[in-house]
Protein backbone atom coordinates (compact mmCIF):
# COMPACT_ATOMS: atom_id res chain seq x y z
CA UNK A 1 0.00 0.00 0.00
CA UNK A 2 1.22 3.48 -0.81
CA UNK A 3 1.58 6.07 1.93
CA UNK A 4 0.76 9.77 1.56
CA UNK A 5 3.12 12.35 0.16
CA UNK A 6 3.67 15.37 2.39
CA UNK A 7 3.72 18.79 0.72
CA UNK A 8 5.19 21.51 2.92
CA UNK A 9 4.02 24.90 1.73
CA UNK A 10 1.06 23.13 0.14
CA UNK A 11 -0.94 26.35 0.53
CA UNK A 12 1.56 28.46 -1.42
CA UNK A 13 1.78 29.49 -5.08
CA UNK A 14 3.70 26.38 -6.13
CA UNK A 15 2.60 23.99 -3.37
CA UNK A 16 -1.11 24.36 -4.17
CA UNK A 17 -0.49 23.21 -7.73
CA UNK A 18 1.76 20.35 -6.59
CA UNK A 19 -1.01 19.15 -4.26
CA UNK A 20 -3.58 19.18 -7.06
CA UNK A 21 -1.24 17.36 -9.47
CA UNK A 22 -0.49 14.67 -6.89
CA UNK A 23 -4.22 14.18 -6.25
CA UNK A 24 -4.80 14.01 -10.02
CA UNK A 25 -2.12 11.31 -10.15
CA UNK A 26 -4.09 9.30 -7.61
CA UNK A 27 -1.75 9.87 -4.66
CA UNK A 28 -2.79 10.54 -1.10
CA UNK A 29 -1.56 13.94 -0.02
CA UNK A 30 -0.91 15.59 3.33
CA UNK A 31 -0.31 19.33 3.55
CA UNK A 32 1.76 20.97 6.26
CA UNK A 33 0.60 24.51 6.96
CA UNK A 34 0.60 26.91 9.89
CA UNK A 35 -3.10 27.48 9.22
CA UNK A 36 -5.98 25.36 10.44
CA UNK A 37 -7.35 22.85 7.96
CA UNK A 38 -9.14 24.51 5.08
CA UNK A 39 -12.75 23.37 4.83
CA UNK A 40 -12.28 22.84 1.09
CA UNK A 41 -9.24 20.57 1.46
CA UNK A 42 -9.94 17.13 0.01
CA UNK A 43 -6.79 15.64 1.52
CA UNK A 44 -4.96 15.15 4.83
CA UNK A 45 -3.88 18.24 6.71
CA UNK A 46 -1.24 18.76 9.40
CA UNK A 47 -1.20 22.10 11.13
CA UNK A 48 2.37 22.86 12.13
CA UNK A 49 5.18 25.34 12.03
CA UNK A 50 8.67 24.63 10.73
CA UNK A 51 10.01 27.59 12.71
CA UNK A 52 9.01 26.13 16.06
CA UNK A 53 8.76 22.45 15.17
CA UNK A 54 5.17 22.29 16.43
CA UNK A 55 3.19 19.63 14.57
CA UNK A 56 6.09 18.64 12.31
CA UNK A 57 6.42 15.06 13.61
CA UNK A 58 2.72 14.46 12.99
CA UNK A 59 3.17 15.84 9.48
CA UNK A 60 6.10 13.61 8.53
CA UNK A 61 4.75 10.47 10.17
CA UNK A 62 4.38 7.55 7.72
CA UNK A 63 4.89 9.46 4.46
CA UNK A 64 6.59 8.01 1.38
CA UNK A 65 7.93 11.35 0.18
CA UNK A 66 8.11 15.00 1.15
CA UNK A 67 7.91 17.79 -1.43
CA UNK A 68 9.42 20.70 0.45
CA UNK A 69 7.88 23.89 -0.97
CA UNK A 70 7.59 25.86 2.28
CA UNK A 71 9.74 28.91 2.66
CA UNK A 72 10.09 31.50 5.41
CA UNK A 73 11.53 33.83 2.74
CA UNK A 74 14.65 34.47 4.83
CA UNK A 75 17.59 32.72 6.43
CA UNK A 76 15.31 30.95 8.89
CA UNK A 77 14.72 28.51 6.03
CA UNK A 78 17.92 26.72 7.04
CA UNK A 79 16.81 25.90 10.59
CA UNK A 80 13.26 25.22 9.38
CA UNK A 81 14.52 22.68 6.84
CA UNK A 82 16.82 21.06 9.39
CA UNK A 83 13.78 20.61 11.64
CA UNK A 84 11.94 18.95 8.77
CA UNK A 85 14.92 16.69 8.01
CA UNK A 86 15.33 15.64 11.66
CA UNK A 87 11.63 14.87 11.91
CA UNK A 88 11.63 12.96 8.61
CA UNK A 89 14.55 10.82 9.81
CA UNK A 90 12.67 9.96 13.00
CA UNK A 91 9.67 8.98 10.89
CA UNK A 92 11.53 6.64 8.52
CA UNK A 93 13.25 7.12 5.20
CA UNK A 94 11.02 9.33 3.01
CA UNK A 95 12.24 10.71 -0.30
CA UNK A 96 12.89 14.43 0.21
CA UNK A 97 12.26 16.56 -2.87
CA UNK A 98 13.37 20.17 -2.66
CA UNK A 99 12.52 23.08 -4.95
CA UNK A 100 15.40 25.50 -5.29
CA UNK A 101 16.37 28.47 -7.44
CA UNK A 102 18.71 28.73 -10.43
CA UNK A 103 21.85 30.72 -9.65
CA UNK A 104 21.79 30.63 -5.85
CA UNK A 105 25.51 29.94 -6.04
CA UNK A 106 26.10 32.91 -8.37
CA UNK A 107 23.92 35.73 -7.01
CA UNK A 108 24.94 36.89 -3.50
CA UNK A 109 21.41 37.67 -2.32
CA UNK A 110 21.01 36.73 1.38
CA UNK A 111 17.89 34.64 0.59
CA UNK A 112 19.84 32.76 -2.09
CA UNK A 113 22.72 32.12 0.31
CA UNK A 114 20.26 30.63 2.75
CA UNK A 115 18.76 28.54 -0.03
CA UNK A 116 22.21 27.17 -0.88
CA UNK A 117 22.66 26.18 2.74
CA UNK A 118 19.25 24.54 2.69
CA UNK A 119 20.37 22.50 -0.32
CA UNK A 120 23.45 21.43 1.67
CA UNK A 121 21.22 20.29 4.54
CA UNK A 122 19.10 18.28 2.09
CA UNK A 123 22.18 16.65 0.54
CA UNK A 124 23.62 15.89 4.00
CA UNK A 125 20.30 14.68 5.40
CA UNK A 126 21.03 10.96 4.91
CA UNK A 127 17.55 10.78 3.42
CA UNK A 128 17.03 9.84 -0.24
CA UNK A 129 16.85 13.23 -1.96
CA UNK A 130 16.16 15.13 -5.16
CA UNK A 131 16.77 18.83 -5.82
CA UNK A 132 15.26 20.81 -8.71
CA UNK A 133 16.32 24.40 -9.36
CA UNK A 134 14.11 26.63 -11.49
CA UNK A 135 14.08 30.22 -12.65
CA UNK A 136 11.55 32.76 -11.32
CA UNK A 137 7.84 31.97 -11.61
CA UNK A 138 5.59 34.18 -13.79
CA UNK A 139 3.65 34.96 -10.59
CA UNK A 140 6.77 36.45 -8.96
CA UNK A 141 7.44 38.72 -11.94
CA UNK A 142 3.84 39.97 -11.71
CA UNK A 143 4.28 40.52 -7.95
CA UNK A 144 7.47 42.54 -8.54
CA UNK A 145 5.64 44.76 -11.02
CA UNK A 146 2.39 45.16 -9.08
CA UNK A 147 4.30 46.10 -5.93
CA UNK A 148 4.58 49.54 -7.56
CA UNK A 149 1.03 49.67 -8.92
CA UNK A 150 0.15 52.88 -7.04
CA UNK A 151 3.05 54.74 -8.58
CA UNK A 152 2.79 56.50 -11.97
CA UNK A 153 6.35 55.30 -12.67
CA UNK A 154 7.45 51.68 -12.42
CA UNK A 155 11.16 51.51 -11.70
CA UNK A 156 13.02 48.43 -12.90
CA UNK A 157 16.70 47.60 -12.49
CA UNK A 158 18.45 48.54 -15.75
CA UNK A 159 19.99 45.67 -17.67
CA UNK A 160 18.34 42.86 -15.69
CA UNK A 161 16.59 40.05 -17.57
CA UNK A 162 14.31 37.30 -16.33
CA UNK A 163 13.38 33.90 -17.69
CA UNK A 164 10.06 33.30 -15.99
CA UNK A 165 8.46 29.89 -15.89
CA UNK A 166 4.92 28.67 -15.34
CA UNK A 167 4.36 27.18 -11.92
CA UNK A 168 2.21 24.39 -13.41
CA UNK A 169 5.21 23.10 -15.35
CA UNK A 170 7.36 23.20 -12.23
CA UNK A 171 4.66 21.36 -10.28
CA UNK A 172 4.36 18.73 -13.00
CA UNK A 173 8.10 18.06 -12.83
CA UNK A 174 8.13 17.97 -9.02
CA UNK A 175 5.35 15.40 -9.01
CA UNK A 176 7.23 13.28 -11.55
CA UNK A 177 10.31 13.50 -9.32
CA UNK A 178 8.43 12.83 -6.07
CA UNK A 179 6.83 9.61 -7.30
CA UNK A 180 10.06 8.46 -8.93
CA UNK A 181 13.34 7.23 -7.48
CA UNK A 182 15.59 9.75 -5.69
CA UNK A 183 17.59 11.47 -8.41
CA UNK A 184 19.98 13.86 -6.63
CA UNK A 185 20.43 17.23 -8.31
CA UNK A 186 18.42 17.10 -11.55
CA UNK A 187 18.83 19.44 -14.54
CA UNK A 188 17.68 23.01 -13.94
CA UNK A 189 14.40 24.21 -15.47
CA UNK A 190 14.12 27.61 -17.09
CA UNK A 191 11.23 29.41 -18.70
CA UNK A 192 10.85 29.55 -22.51
CA UNK A 193 12.06 33.15 -23.03
CA UNK A 194 14.61 35.54 -21.58
CA UNK A 195 13.21 39.08 -21.53
CA UNK A 196 14.26 42.30 -19.87
CA UNK A 197 12.49 43.35 -16.70
CA UNK A 198 11.42 46.47 -18.59
CA UNK A 199 9.89 44.42 -21.38
CA UNK A 200 8.06 42.17 -18.92
CA UNK A 201 6.69 45.21 -17.07
CA UNK A 202 5.48 46.67 -20.37
CA UNK A 203 3.85 43.38 -21.33
CA UNK A 204 2.03 43.31 -17.98
CA UNK A 205 0.84 46.91 -18.41
CA UNK A 206 -0.35 46.25 -21.96
CA UNK A 207 -2.19 43.08 -20.91
CA UNK A 208 -3.94 44.84 -18.05
CA UNK A 209 -4.71 48.07 -19.92
CA UNK A 210 -2.70 50.17 -17.48
CA UNK A 211 -0.70 53.20 -18.51
CA UNK A 212 2.51 53.75 -16.58
CA UNK A 213 6.02 54.85 -17.38
CA UNK A 214 8.54 52.05 -17.05
CA UNK A 215 11.84 53.52 -15.95
CA UNK A 216 15.05 51.47 -16.00
CA UNK A 217 17.15 52.51 -13.00
CA UNK A 218 20.89 51.81 -12.96
CA UNK A 219 21.47 50.22 -9.57
CA UNK A 220 24.87 49.59 -7.98
CA UNK A 221 25.94 46.63 -5.89
CA UNK A 222 27.11 43.05 -6.17
CA UNK A 223 23.61 41.56 -6.18
CA UNK A 224 22.34 43.65 -9.09
CA UNK A 225 25.61 43.11 -10.95
CA UNK A 226 25.16 39.34 -10.59
CA UNK A 227 21.55 39.63 -11.84
CA UNK A 228 22.76 41.79 -14.77
CA UNK A 229 25.28 39.08 -15.63
CA UNK A 230 22.39 36.62 -15.78
CA UNK A 231 23.49 34.48 -12.84
CA UNK A 232 19.84 33.59 -12.20
CA UNK A 233 19.14 32.49 -15.79
CA UNK A 234 19.29 29.06 -17.40
CA UNK A 235 19.55 29.76 -21.15
CA UNK A 236 20.63 26.18 -21.90
CA UNK A 237 17.61 24.83 -20.02
CA UNK A 238 14.78 26.86 -21.54
CA UNK A 239 12.43 23.89 -21.22
CA UNK A 240 9.31 25.74 -20.05
CA UNK A 241 6.56 26.09 -22.66
CA UNK A 242 4.12 28.70 -21.33
CA UNK A 243 5.32 32.22 -22.10
CA UNK A 244 4.74 35.23 -19.88
CA UNK A 245 2.29 36.68 -22.44
CA UNK A 246 0.33 33.42 -22.51
CA UNK A 247 0.28 33.34 -18.71
CA UNK A 248 -1.07 36.91 -18.59
CA UNK A 249 -3.71 36.18 -21.23
CA UNK A 250 -4.90 33.08 -19.33
CA UNK A 251 -5.14 34.96 -16.08
CA UNK A 252 -7.35 37.51 -17.82
CA UNK A 253 -5.01 40.19 -16.58
Ligand X SMILES: NC(=O)c1ccc[n+]([C@@H]2O[C@H](COP(=O)([O-])OP(=O)(O)OC[C@H]3O[C@@H](n4cnc5c(N)ncnc54)[C@H](OP(=O)(O)O)[C@@H]3O)[C@@H](O)[C@H]2O)c1
Residue of the chain from 61, 81, 87, 136 that contacts ligand X (CB under 6 A): 136
Under the criterion CB under 6 A, does residue 239 sit at the interface with ligand X? Answer: no
Stretch touching ligand X by CB under 6 A, among 48-56, 180-188, 210-218, 220-228: 48-56
Residue of the chain from 66, 101, 109, 178 that contacts ligand X (CB under 6 A): 101
Residue of the chain from 4, 9, 157, 230 that contacts ligand X (CB under 6 A): 9
Under the criterion CB under 6 A, does residue 140 sit at the interface with ligand X? Answer: yes
Residue of the chain from 3, 23, 28, 51 that contacts ligand X (CB under 6 A): 51
Under the criterion CB under 6 A, does residue 15 sit at the interface with ligand X? Answer: yes
Under the criterion CB under 6 A, does residue 157 sit at the interface with ligand X? Answer: no
SS3 annotation, the chain: CCCCEEEECCCCHHHHHHHHHHHHCCCCEEEEECCCCCCCCCCEEEECCCCCCCCHHHHHCCCCEEEECCCCCCCHHHHHHHHHHHHHHHHCCCEEEEEEECCCCCCCCHHHHHHHHHHHHHHCCCCCEEEEEECCEHHHHHHHHHCCCCCCEEEEECCCEECCECHHHHHHHHHHHHHCCCCEECCCECCCCCEEHHHHHHHHHHHHCCCCEEEEECCCCHHHHHHHCCCCCCHHHCCCCCCHHHHHHHHCC
Stretch touching ligand X by CB under 6 A, among 12-20, 151-159, 182-190, 215-223: 12-20
Given the rule CB under 6 A, which residues bind ligand X? 8-9, 11-15, 32-35, 49-51, 69-72, 80, 99, 101, 134, 136-137, 140
Amino acid sequence: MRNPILVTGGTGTLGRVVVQRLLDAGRDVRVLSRRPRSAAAGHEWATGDLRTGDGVDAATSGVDAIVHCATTLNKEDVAATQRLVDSARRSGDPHLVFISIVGIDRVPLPYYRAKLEVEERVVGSELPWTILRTTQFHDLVVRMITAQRWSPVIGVPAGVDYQPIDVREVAERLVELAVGAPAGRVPDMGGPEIRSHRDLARAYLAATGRRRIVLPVPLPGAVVTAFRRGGHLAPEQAVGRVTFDEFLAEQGR
